[in-house]
Amino acid sequence: MTLIEKIMRTAPVIPVLVIEDAAHARGIAEALVAGGLPVLEVTLRTAAALDAIAEMKKVPGAIVGAGTIVDVPSLECAIGAGAEFIVSPGLTDNLGKAAVAKGIPFLPGVASAGDIMRGLELGLTHFKFFPAEANGGLPALKSLIGPFGQCKFCPTGGIKQDTAADWLAVPEILCVGGSWLVGKGVPEVAAIESAARAASALRN
Ligand SMILES: O=C(O)C(=O)C[C@H](O)[C@H](O)COP(=O)(O)O
């Protein structure tokens, strides 16, 4: 099993995190891990993201990756900060080749058959389906799985606790991503842990 597949099979949900203050990172990670969601995607959308990755890595059991990686410089920054896997919203040849050359587990976003074909040409078979709901939802991904049954997916974008189970019922869907677990502002760790517990019970 490849490392990215192992990561995708660790828990049914990968929380997509937008961390505004690195001082919040550790408490959020502890609550998510305690609730049964150890795979964490910290988006590089905020100035605090790289510090947040480093802080979250101190939490025992956490597997911390970087999201919103859109180019090679941000890939290098994320790896430098200790990211253990990389998620991107889309796939370019430049970014794909660089991630493959680094040997880091990589989950690039795809939204079409052409995107998947570009990934396959780079030797990639595991993809984020993004934006999952807006791009046709489950019927669209099921249609893509037809010709690309060798691929595995993590749909992300518009998925919530009450819709995740429908996606997870498809064997080629190893996990889903979503930002619903953590609200904005000062983290309410008890609420985060209970949301994580509900999400981690979706499958396993
Ligand atoms: O930032 C990135 O790299 C993205 O590709 C986008 C995120 O994965 C989605 O925005 C999460 O979707 P929601 O769960 O609907 O909030």
Any domain includes 60? yes
Any domain includes 193? yes
Under DSSP, the state recorded for 127 is E
Any domain includes 203? no
Q: State which of 18, 46, 156, 160 you would mutate to test the pocket of ligand 1, scoring each by most atoms of that ligand within 8 A of its C-beta.
A: 156
Chain centre to alpha carbon of residue 121: 22
Q: Render pLDDT for 131-175 as a digit per residue (tens, 0 to 9).
A: 999 999 999 999 999 999 999 999 999 999 999 999 999 999 999
Rounded Cα distance between 149 and 163, Å, is 23
Where does the pLDDT of residue 1 fall: very low under 50, low under 70, confident under 90, or very high at 90 and above? confident
Ramachandran assignment for 77, one of left (phi > 0), alpha (psi -120 to 50 degrees), beta (any other): alpha
CATH number of the domain encompassing residue 28 = 3.20.20.70
- How many domains are there within the chain? 1
ipTM above 0.90, yes or no: yes
Any domain includes 204? no
Structural domain of residue 97, as residue ranges? 3-198
List, chain by chain if needed, residues with CB within 6 Å of any ligand 1 atom.
16, 43, 45, 67-68, 89, 109, 130, 156-159, 177-179
Any domain includes 169? yes
